Amino acid sequence: MNKRICIWIALGCGVLWTTLPGGLSATSQPEADLLDLVEQGSKASSDAVTSGWGKITVASWGRNWDGGVQESETVYAAAFAGDRFRVSAVRTFTRNTLGPNEDLKLAVAAGTVWRHEAMYDPSRVTIYYPDANAANIFAERHNGELRNISPRHLGLSEISGNAVLTANYAELDGVTCILLEGRYERDDGLVTFVRCWVDEERGFVLRKYQVFAQDNTHPELVLLDETNVEVRDYGGGLWGPKKCTKVRYREDRDGEIRKWSETTTTYDPGFQLNAPVDEQQLVLDLPSGTKVYDKVLDATYSVP
């Protein structure tokens, strides 16, 4: 996947276009032809995007092991061009309830606001926390947040190279898509199934993505992850997400499969692709006096 569209992953969606990992096999020539079509079409769609900017809102809901629930909303102002992008983020915690065995001191109170600004380029990431007047600088992919924006395959990336794919046309909410299905069995008996609906007519956008699992404990198929995407026309023949909703299900302490988290990413109607982006939109200038923890230089210093 091209780095230029990794901003979508960083902001909680990660489903603009699907790409296929190498080494996968199809069960027939027509299916192989469809796989080639998806691979080539998705690459052409991603290569066509060079820049963009606008507002993105991410609403998240999550459950923890002890029954507590946390909700928050994060508003991003984002701009990207080529391999570079910059975001300003404001996260507001709207709910935080604790389970019976959780430590109250670990809770983030409802109404708490976290802010940060970040600048990413091919060599490093700079994250600035204005409320603390402090910043961290990392080499690329040296922290968890950056792993989410690194170039990686989407959709079928969790299927290893010896998995078998099937590809067929299928209807999804009245839209004809290419349905890709993969199956992978681990040595410990866990079987993973992935299903992806790719919209050929709308720039090979990934419209729906599901992950199922099956093992000795759960002989029936268990849904673990599901992402649904509403798309829109960004102009110039470019299609992308309007809203993405990702739900995860996990086994709770009592052995029941429950909804574990839900993340909804909404792209503002004014969000633009291939719009002009000037240098100032991509640069993060640290204010004087900022305390910097620089992992690249292995140094701590203050900005003059």
Please return the burial class of 37, using the count of CB atoms within 10 Å of its CB with bins 0-12, 13-18 and 19+: middle
Give me the number of domains the chain comprises: 1
Sequence-distant (≥ 6) Cβ neighbours of residue 130 within 8 angstroms:
115, 116, 117
**Smallest Cα–Cα separation from 73: which of 86, 54, 60?**
60
Domain extent for 95:
3-302
Q: Residue 228: its pLDDT value, please? A: 93
**Smallest Cα–Cα separation from 99: which of 253, 225, 257?**
253
CA 43: distance to chain centroid?
18
Q: What tens digit of pLDDT does each residue of 60-85 get?
A: 999 887 778 999 999 999 898 888 88
CA–CA gap between residue 253 and residue 5 (Å, rounded): 38
Q: Assess whether pLDDT exceeds 50 at residue 17.
A: no
Q: What tens digit of pLDDT does each residue of 196-223 get?
A: 899 999 988 889 989 998 877 777 889 9
**Smallest Cα–Cα separation from 249: which of 211, 197, 192?**
211
Residue 105 in tokens: 């001191």
Q: What tens digit of pLDDT does each residue of 141-198 get?
A: 544 443 443 223 333 343 444 456 788 999 999 999 999 888 877 777 788 888 989 9
Q: Which has more confidence, 79 or 1?
A: 79
CA–CA gap between residue 298 and residue 142 (Å, rounded): 13
What pTM did the predictor assign? 0.83
**Smallest Cα–Cα separation from 239: which of 264, 265, 267, 262?**
267
CA distances 295 to 75, 128, 130, 298, Å, are: 27, 14, 19, 5
Sequence-distant (≥ 6) Cβ neighbours of residue 170 within 8 angstroms:
176, 177, 178, 179, 197
